[in-house]
């Protein structure tokens, strides 16, 4: 099967400011993209921008079925550590069979080291045979012949030549990857090869798409604030994005370019969805194996440990953002109108529990924070006409910057707890969002056996 890549005519003078090397690789005298013809040989041998590929990477031909979501990854040989296989395992293991049927993962092996590519393909085929057979995983490679110059480039931002070459090639890798993925799904998710995924991330993404479509026009949604991780696009925009990255590949890093691209499509502000669905897990960067400790504080893997409970509050609730939503898993949150001193939100556990950690998060960005409050634990449940509560409470500490966290609580309070209460200590004009109440528990010790 062969495909042609064409681009619409560019306006006169559009290329005047670009270096000749880029012009030579980007357009010909008829304003058409210069590229070789593509032979799509298989899920391990199809390459974007019409380049041929070594047949040693061939397995099964991609089914051609358009999925809901295509997920793009680019990977190169690392001098320290390798996270590609764990990343692929996380993508598939954190998705249900139904979710996997709506996903296709496109992996670009972007290193020019043939030995590394052969070894990587061999490992992928042995560990992901089913995913390859079901066309849920596609592996591609682009020949070095089809790259424009990646050395001797201008040093914007006074970056070292090695870094300029690295980030410029990375832009080209993403351009090829995005171009190839354009027709595979309705939406496209860009990830890196050293991440872990939240449980059922696909369902969360689909829900967010539906919510955003109902209230705004968007060009990019972000499911992680880090780098080029978790950026979601509409597939209709991918040909433009691929050209954009190719055209400006030597100017700046990819995450800066994607911000400019978003703004050109008239989305002026970032839309960052929380909690984050992807966590950076790499310790060493793909650039020279440098140490990289980036972690996303908003990531939730999906290990939800809150016990069964009822939640009550005397704060005025806005619309359907009920108090229980801050306790339950998912994206819900409690949204209350201006709280007054003495207002509360009380969680009453179904069974007395030994609590080891409490974490409470309020606000959205820097807005709707709960400014003055304390967290308390209680025991001896009592029932009133309207709700349940505890007879006795003990304060644990105050909120700081809209958050509260305490760990190893069982070392201070080893007995069981029946209630958790957030008590407002000073009124505020701003409304309040309690976005997350999370606790961890441990089994209480059974009573000692006393011989009769």
Q: Are residues 132 and 274 in the same domain?
A: yes
Instruction: Quote the CA–CA distance of 331 and 200 in Å, as a whole number.
Output: 13
Q: Do 52 and 160 sit in the same domain of this protein?
A: yes
Same domain, 174 and 272: yes
Instruction: Please indicate, yes or no, if residue 291 is contained in any of the structural domains.
Output: no
Same domain assignment for residues 275 and 340 = no
Interstrand relation of 403-406 and 344-362 (parallel, antiparallel or unpaired): antiparallel
Same domain? 266 vs 131: yes
User: How many structural domains are present in the chain?
Assistant: 2
Asked whether residue 149 is domain-assigned, the answer is yes
Residue 39 in any domain: the answer is: yes
DSSP category for residue 192? -
- Residue pLDDT tens, the chain, 452 long: 434 333 333 344 433 333 333 333 333 333 333 333 333 333 333 334 434 333 333 344 455 678 999 999 999 998 777 889 999 999 999 998 989 999 999 999 999 999 999 999 999 999 999 999 999 999 999 988 889 888 887 888 778 888 888 899 999 999 999 999 999 999 999 999 989 898 888 988 998 899 899 888 999 999 988 878 899 999 999 999 999 999 998 888 888 999 999 999 999 999 988 778 888 885 544 545 454 556 555 555 555 568 889 999 999 999 999 999 999 876 789 999 999 999 999 999 999 999 998 999 999 878 899 999 999 999 999 999 899 999 999 999 999 999 999 988 998 888 999 999 999 999 999 999 999 999 988 865 544 443 43
Q: Do 270 and 230 meet the contact criterion of CB atoms below 8 Å apart? A: no
Q: Which domain holds residue 417?
A: 309-442
Check which CATH number belongs to the domain holding 438 and give it: 2.60.120.260
Judge if 188 and 52 occupy the same domain: yes
Q: Whole-structure pTM over 0.95, yes or no?
A: no
Any domain includes 9: no
**Strands 344-362 and 432-442, how do they pair?**
antiparallel
One domain for residues 150 and 93: yes
Residues 250 and 336 in one domain: no
Residue 407 three-state SS: coil
The answer for residues whose C-beta is within 8 angstroms of residue 310's C-beta and 6 or more apart is 324, 347, 348, 350, 387, 388
The two three-digit tokens of residue 450, written as one number: 């006393």
Looking at the domain assignment, is residue 103 inside a domain?
yes
Question: Residue 300 falls within a domain, yes or no?
Answer: no
Q: Is 302 left (phi over 0), alpha (psi -120 to 50) or beta?
A: left
- The answer to whether residue 301 sits within a structural domain is no
């Amino acid at each position: 099967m062969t495909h042609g890549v064409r681009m619409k005519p560019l306006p006169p003078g559009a290329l005047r400011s670009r270096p000749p090397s880029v012009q030579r690789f980007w357009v010909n005298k008829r304003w058409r993209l210069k590229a070789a013809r593509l032979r799509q040989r298989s899920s391990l041998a199809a390459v974007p921008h019409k380049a041929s590929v070594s047949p040693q990477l061939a397995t099964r031909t991609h089914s051609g079925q358009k999925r809901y979501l295509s997920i793009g990854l680019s990977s190169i040989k690392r001098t320290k550590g390798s996270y590609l296989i764990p990343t692929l395992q996380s993508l598939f293991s954190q998705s249900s069979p139904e979710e996997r049927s709506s996903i296709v993962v496109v992996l670009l092996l972007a290193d020019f080291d043939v030995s590394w590519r052969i070894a990587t393909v061999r490992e992928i085929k042995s560990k992901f045979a089913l995913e390859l057979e079901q066309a849920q995983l596609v592996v591609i490679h682009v020949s070095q012949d089809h790259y424009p110059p990646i050395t001797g480039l201008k040093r914007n931002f006074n970056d070292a030549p090695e870094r300029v070459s690295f980030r410029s090639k990375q832009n080209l890798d993403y351009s090829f990857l995005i171009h190839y993925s354009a027709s595979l799904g309705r939406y496209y998710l860009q990830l890196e090869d050293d991440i872990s995924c939240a449980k059922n991330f696909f369902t969360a993404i689909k829900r967010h798409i539906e919510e955003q479509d109902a209230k705004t026009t968007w060009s990019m949604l972000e499911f992680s604030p880090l780098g080029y991780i978790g950026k979601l696009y509409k597939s209709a925009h991918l040909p433009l994005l691929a050209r954009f990255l190719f055209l400006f590949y030597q100017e700046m890093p990819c995450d800066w370019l994607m911000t400019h691209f978003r703004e050109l499509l008239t989305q002026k502000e970032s839309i960052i969805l929380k909690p984050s669905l992807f966590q950076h897990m790499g310790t060493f960067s793909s650039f020279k194996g440098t140490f990289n400790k980036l972690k996303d504080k908003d990531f939730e893997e999906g290990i939800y440990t809150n016990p069964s409970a009822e939640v009550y509050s005397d704060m005025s609730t806005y619309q359907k953002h009920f108090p229980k939503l801050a306790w339950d898993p998912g994206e819900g949150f409690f949204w209350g109108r201006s709280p007054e001193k003495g207002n509360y939100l009380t969680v009453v556990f179904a069974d007395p529990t030994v609590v080891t950690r409490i974490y409470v998060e309020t606000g959205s960005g820097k807005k709707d924070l709960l400014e003055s409050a304390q967290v308390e634990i209680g025991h001896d449940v009592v029932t009133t006409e309207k709700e349940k509560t505890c007879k006795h409470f003990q304060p644990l500490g105050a909120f700081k910057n809209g958050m509260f966290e305490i760990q190893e609580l069982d070392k201070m309070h080893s007995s069981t707890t029946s209630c958790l209460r957030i008590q407002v200590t000073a009124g505020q004009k701003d409304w309040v969002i309690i976005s997350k109440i999370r606790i961890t528990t441990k089994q209480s010790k059974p009573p000692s056996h006393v011989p009769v």
